[in-house]
A and B are shown apart, each in its own frame.
Chain A
Amino acid sequence: MKNGTVYTETVVWSPPERYVNDAPYQIAIVDLGDKRVTGRVLGDRVAIGDAVEFVELRDEVPYFRRSAA
C-alpha cells in the first residue's frame, strides 16, 4: 500500500454492530494515484486534500495517518 491524498472522509458516530466499541472513528477514501481505497484514519482528523501515509493493514483494512510535514 502506498501513501496518498484524502479524496473524501467522514467521522462515523453511529457504527455497525461489529464496530460499536470503536465509534466515533474516521474513515476516508484515499486516492493512491492508480486507484482509490477506503480505510481508517489514525490520530489527527484529516480533511479532503490532506496527504496521508499508509501505516498498516489490520484484518485487510488499510490504516492511514496524516503525513508528517
Chain B
Amino acid sequence: MRRVAVVGIGKTAFGAFPGRDLRSLAVEAGQKAMKDASLKPDQAEAFYLGNFAGPSFVGQNHLAPYVAAGLGISGVPATRFEAACASSGAAFFHAWSAVAAGIYEVVVVGGVEKMTSQPTPRVAEILAGAGDMSGEMRAGATFPALFAMIARRHMYQYGTTREQLAAVSVKNHANGAKNPLAHMRKVVTLEQVLAGKPVAEPLTVYDCSLVSDGAAAVVICAEERAAEFTAKPVMVLGISQTSDRVALDEKVDITTLEAVRTSAEKAYRMAGVSAADIQFAELHDCFTIAEILACEDLGFTPKGEGGPYVQSGATCLRGERPVNASGGLKAKGHPVGATGVGQICDVAMQIRGEAGELQVARNQIGLAQNLGGSGATSVVTILGAK
C-alpha cells in the first residue's frame, strides 16, 4: 500500500443560497480544488462524490457524472457515495483506497448537499431516512431526538450537565464567527443556549447543527506525484471507515459510538500514533452531545469525562487541543453530504498554515471524524505535514 497526499482543497461558503442549485455548488468547490492543485480535467482518473439525499432534496439522481461533466471531467468512473452524514467521508475513504492500492494516481473527491429549499418538517423527514424507518423513526424520532436520548443517558450515567453541552455550542460559535465561509457568524452566550427554543429535550436549537447548502472538494494523488501539483502536500497518515447497527435501540450502550472507537483505533494504528499525538481535530458535532462522545471515543479523554473536558477549555482555539477551530457543524453549517470532505479541507488548511485568524498553534498532525446517522458509519482520517 502506498502513501497518498491531499494536493488540492476547495470549499464553497456554507449557508442558505436560494439562487444556487446543487450542481453549481459542487462545481464551484471542484474547480477551486482543481485550481489549487493546478490539475487539468483530463488528468483526473476518477471522480468520487459524497451526497446523502439529492434525490429527495432536489429530485436529482445520477449525481456524480452530472457534477463531473460540469468540471470537464468525462469518460472516467464517476460514482456517488451515500452513507448518511458520512457520505463524503466514505467517498474520500474509497478514493484513498483506490489510490493507495495503485489503481489510480490522481482522483477528485467532492461532497455536496442542497438542503434549504425544503421546509423544516420535510428536512427532518428526509434526514430521518438515515435511521431505522420501521422502528425508531416510525415512533416519531428525529435525528435531534436520537441524540437527545443519547444526551439523557450520558447525563444519567456520567453526570454530564446541561451547561457542559452548552459549552460546546459557545466554543464552536466563537470560532465560527471568525470563519468567512461559515453559515452562522455570530457568538452566542451560555445563557442564550440554555434559554433556546427546545428541539428535543434537553437539546435546544443551539445544540443542533445547521441545515445548510454547500460543497467541498479535494484532489488526492500518490505521494510520488504530489510535487507536480503542490509545494505543500498534506499526507494521509491513517484512515479507517467502520460500521455499526443503524437503530439506536439495537445498540448495547448508546453512550459509546462503537464505530467511532474502532475506526479511531485502526486509523491510529495505521498512522503509528496514539490519541495523545493528535494536536487538533475537526469533529462531527451534529449535536453538542456528539462532540462530547467523540472526544471520549477518540480517546482524547476517558469515557464519561467528555463533559468536564470540553468545559475545561482544553478544546478551545487556544486550548491544549483545539476542536472544531472552523466552527464545526454547529456554526460553520452542515450540508450533510459536503461535511466529510469539508473537514478534510479544514484540517489540511491548518496543516498548510492558511487558517488565518483561526490558525491553531500546533498544526503538524490533525484528525477529522465524520459520522453517519446515530453512529452506523464512522470515518476517521489522520492528516499530517509529513
Question: Which residues of A are at the interface with B, using a C-beta cutoff of 8 A?
Answer: 7-20, 22, 24-25, 27-29, 35-40, 48-49, 59-62
Q: Is B135 an interface residue (CB 8 A)?
A: yes
Q: Is B200 an interface residue (CB 8 A)?
A: yes
List residues of chain B with CB within 8 A of the CB of A62.
Answer: 139
Q: Is B194 an interface residue (CB 8 A)?
A: no
Report yes or no: A12 in contact with B138, Cβ–Cβ below 8 A: no
Given contacts A13-B199, A38-B248, contact A25 B140 (CB under 8 A): yes
List residues of chain A with CB within 8 A of the CB of B203.
Answer: 10
Selecting from B122-130, B221-229, B306-314, B331-339, the interface stretch reads B122-130
List residues of chain A with CB within 8 A of the CB of B77.
Answer: none
Report yes or no: A17 in contact with B135, Cβ–Cβ below 8 A: no
Q: Give bound CA distance, A18 to B140, whole Å.
A: 9
Q: In chain B between 103 and 160, which residues have their CB closer than 8 angstroms to a CB of chain A? A: 120-122, 124-125, 128, 134-142, 144-145, 148-150, 152-153, 156
Report yes or no: B138 in contact with A48, Cβ–Cβ below 8 A: no
List residues of chain B with CB within 8 A of the CB of A25.
Answer: 140
Across the interface, B128 reaches (CB within 8 A) one of A16, A39, A49, namely: A16
Task: Give the distance to chain A from B125, nearest Cβ to Cβ, in Å.
Answer: 4
Task: Give the distance to chain A from B156, nearest Cβ to Cβ, in Å.
Answer: 5
Q: Give bound CA distance, A28 to B198, whole Å.
A: 17
Q: Is B354 an interface residue (CB 8 A)?
A: no
Task: Give the distance to chain A from B154, nearest Cβ to Cβ, in Å.
Answer: 9
Tell me the nearest residue of chain A to B150, going by C-beta. A8
Report yes or no: A12 in contact with B200, Cβ–Cβ below 8 A: yes
Question: Which residues of B are at the interface with A, using a C-beta cutoff of 8 A?
Answer: 120-122, 124-125, 128, 134-142, 144-145, 148-150, 152-153, 156, 197-203, 247-250, 254
Q: Give bound CA distance, A59 to B198, whole Å.
A: 27
Report yes or no: B248 in contact with A29, Cβ–Cβ below 8 A: yes
Report yes or no: B200 in contact with A16, Cβ–Cβ below 8 A: no
Q: Give bound CA distance, A40 to B203, whole Å.
A: 19
Report yes or no: B152 in contact with A16, Cβ–Cβ below 8 A: no
List residues of chain A with CB within 8 A of the CB of B121.
Answer: 14-17, 20
- Which interface residue of B138, B140, B156, B247 has the most chain A CB atoms within 10 A? B140
Tell me the nearest residue of chain B to A22, going by C-beta. B140
Tell me the nearest residue of chain A to B121, going by C-beta. A17
Task: Give the distance to chain A from B249, nearest Cβ to Cβ, in Å.
Answer: 4
Report yes or no: A48 in contact with B125, Cβ–Cβ below 8 A: no
Report yes or no: B249 in contact with A27, Cβ–Cβ below 8 A: no
Report yes or no: A17 in contact with B152, Cβ–Cβ below 8 A: no
15 CB-based A-B contacts, threshold 8 Å: A8-B149, A10-B200, A14-B199, A14-B200, A16-B125, A16-B137, A27-B145, A27-B149, A29-B248, A40-B139, A48-B152, A48-B153, A60-B138, A61-B138, A61-B139
Tell me the nearest residue of chain A to B137, going by C-beta. A16
Report yes or no: A12 in contact with B140, Cβ–Cβ below 8 A: yes
Report yes or no: A17 in contact with B138, Cβ–Cβ below 8 A: no
Report yes or no: A29 in contact with B249, Cβ–Cβ below 8 A: yes
Q: A13-B200, A27-B149 are in contact. List 17 more A-B contacts (CB 8 A).
A: A12-B140, A12-B145, A12-B200, A13-B199, A13-B201, A14-B124, A14-B142, A14-B144, A15-B124, A17-B122, A17-B125, A22-B140, A27-B139, A29-B254, A38-B136, A48-B156, A61-B138
Give 8 nearest A-B pairs by CB, closest first: A10-B148, A38-B136, A17-B125, A17-B121, A8-B149, A8-B153, A16-B125, A16-B124
List residues of chain B with CB within 8 A of the CB of A39.
Answer: 139
